[in-house]
């Protein structure tokens, strides 16, 4: 599964006591240099009065920066303080449950064991029960989800995905792409654990919802992110439907939306005079087709991938981008081996300047065993 990590724009700089080291920490955070921020935190923490009113915020941000720097052992110092020596008073914006998530996340990052995963999952479930927003808990849930996914611990992955999705619902539209991605991960993990027709339908319905949001989104960057998530959900829904059709001939896939081509055009409209129609292009038939990159985790599963091919000169494709794939994302390498032999052509006799040339061609591939 493709990694989808939320952005860090909500990282809060400290309103902390005057200190050169605090200033260095803030400057490093602002620059996105979390390694330097972690070093500054380690130098500053021993010098701070642990009774100051905002010490909980300081400890939280120090732990958060250390986790982003890949230094969970340092994070344990601050998160342990939050859990084992809770401040007598703390600002309203500090949530003790987030301190518990940080502490469990740091322990898990140091060593992924059944005990540390269970502790983090429990802390995340407690956090998900509170209607609030914080990126710390979402990133912790993502870390737990992907660790479980990679190891095939489907039930644990689904639980982590559910917690992250529940937390993200409080963010609204701004992180809709992350929410959709984790909801997909939850359903996909449940399907991998125990395939069912209902889960295949749920994935298709999620695909339809994400497509509707993509089509309705005006902000270009969010629309692009939503489109990528949609293509991944669509791939998973297709694979789940193919799996169920193989197992049960009575299974009827949910009706697919006829807006798929509208999604292609929405995220990559043909430039030029919109009064002109868009030129219709297609990929020429080729004996060279990408091979399905099989792996041990999903042995015997069908595959599905959507590629975006950039139209180049001399009827060639100048670039290829994997937009979505299931049940894993090892499809880019498989198509790299055949792209040099592919060509594009016009579908009909209409040519520029009678039409606008698109920049991209979208191609969907269904992979079955042996192809």
Output the CA–CA distances (angstroms, integers) from residue 38 to 66, 234, 306, in the order listed.
Answer: 5, 40, 40
pLDDT in tens, 186-215: 999 999 999 999 999 999 999 999 999 988
pLDDT of residue 9: 33
Cα of 202 vs its chain's centroid, Å: 19
- Per-residue pLDDT tens over the stretch 342-367: 999 999 999 999 999 999 999 888 88
Q: What confidence score (pLDDT) does residue 1 get?
A: 56
Would you state the torsion angle of the CA atoms of residues 10, 141, 132, 66, taken in this order, to the nearest 10 degrees? Answer: -40
CA 17 from chain centre, in angstroms, equals 37
What was the pLDDT predicted at 232? 93
pLDDT category at 259 given cuts 50, 70, 90 is: low
The more confident residue out of 332 and 361 is 361
Task: pLDDT band for 265, please (50, 70, 90 cuts).
Answer: low
Q: What share of the chain is helix, strand, coil (3-state, %, to 5)?
A: 55, 10, 35
User: What is the band of 266 on the pLDDT scale with cuts at 50, 70, 90?
Assistant: low
Highest mean pLDDT among 83-97, 113-127, 261-275: 113-127
CATH number of the domain located at residue range(s) 1-168 in this protein:
1.25.40
Q: Is the pLDDT of residue 235 over 80?
A: yes
**29-73 confidence digits (pLDDT tens):** 888 899 999 999 999 999 998 888 888 989 999 999 999 999 999
For the domain made up of 268-367, give the CATH fold. TolA/TonB C-terminal domain (3.30.2420)
- pLDDT computed for residue 139 by the predictor: 93
Q: How confident is the model at residue 257 (pLDDT cuts 50, 70, 90)?
A: low
Residue 141 to residue 143: CA distance in whole angstroms? 5
pTM above 0.85, yes or no: yes
Instruction: Give the pLDDT of residue 299.
Output: 79
Q: Is the sign of the CA dihedral 300, 293, 239, 184 positive or negative?
A: positive
Q: Which two tokens stand for residue 92?
A: 């309203």
Q: Residue 357 has what pLDDT?
A: 93
Question: From start to end of the chain, where are the E strands?
Answer: 281-283, 303-311, 317-326, 344-346, 360-367
Distances (CA, A) of 145 to 194, 301, 325: 17, 21, 18
What pLDDT score was predicted for residue 224?
85
Q: What is the pLDDT of residue 252?
A: 73
pLDDT for res 174: 77
> Does residue 355 or residue 339 have the better pLDDT?
355
What percentage of the chain has pLDDT greater than the value 70? 88
């Amino acid at each position: 599964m493709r990694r989808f990590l939320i952005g860090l724009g909500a990282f809060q700089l400290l309103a902390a006591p005057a200190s050169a080291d605090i200033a260095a920490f803030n400057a490093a955070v602002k620059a996105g240099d979390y390694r330097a921020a972690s070093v500054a935190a380690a130098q500053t923490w021993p010098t701070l009065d642990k009774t100051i009113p905002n010490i909980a915020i300081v400890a939280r941000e120090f732990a958060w920066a250390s986790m982003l720097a890949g230094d969970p052992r340092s994070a344990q110092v601050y998160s342990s303080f939050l859990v084992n020596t809770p401040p007598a008073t703390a600002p309203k914006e500090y949530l003790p449950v987030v301190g518990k998530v940080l502490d469990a996340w740091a322990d898990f990052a140091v060593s992924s064991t059944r005990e540390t995963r269970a502790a983090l999952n429990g802390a995340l479930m407690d956090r998900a029960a509170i209607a609030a927003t914080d990126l710390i808990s979402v990133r912790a849930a993502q870390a737990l989800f992907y660790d479980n996914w990679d190891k095939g611990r489907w039930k644990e992955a689904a639980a982590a995905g559910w917690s992250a999705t529940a937390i993200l619902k409080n963010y609204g539209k701004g992180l809709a792409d992350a929410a959709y991605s984790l909801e997909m991960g939850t359903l996909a993990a449940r399907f991998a654990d125990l395939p069912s027709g209902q889960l295949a339908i749920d994935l298709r319905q999620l695909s339809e919802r994400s497509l509707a949001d993509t089509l309705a989104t005006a902000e270009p960057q969010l629309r692009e992110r939503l489109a990528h998530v949609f293509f991944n959900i669509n791939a998973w829904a297709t694979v789940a439907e193919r799996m169920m059709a193989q197992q049960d001939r009575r299974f009827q896939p949910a009706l697919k939306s006829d807006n798929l081509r509208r999604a292609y055009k929405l995220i990559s409209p043909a430039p030029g005079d919109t009064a002109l129609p868009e030129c219709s292009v297609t990929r020429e038939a080729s004996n060279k087709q990408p091979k399905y990159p099989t792996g041990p985790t999903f042995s015997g599963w069908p595959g599905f991938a959507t590629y975006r091919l950039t139209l180049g000169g001399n009827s060639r494709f100048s670039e290829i981008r994997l937009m979505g794939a299931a049940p894993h994302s090892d499809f880019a390498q498989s198509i790299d081996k055949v792209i040099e032999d592919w060509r594009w052509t016009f579908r009909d006799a209409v040519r520029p300047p009678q039409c606008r040339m698109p920049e991209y061609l979208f191609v969907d591939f269904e992979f079955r065993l042996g192809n």
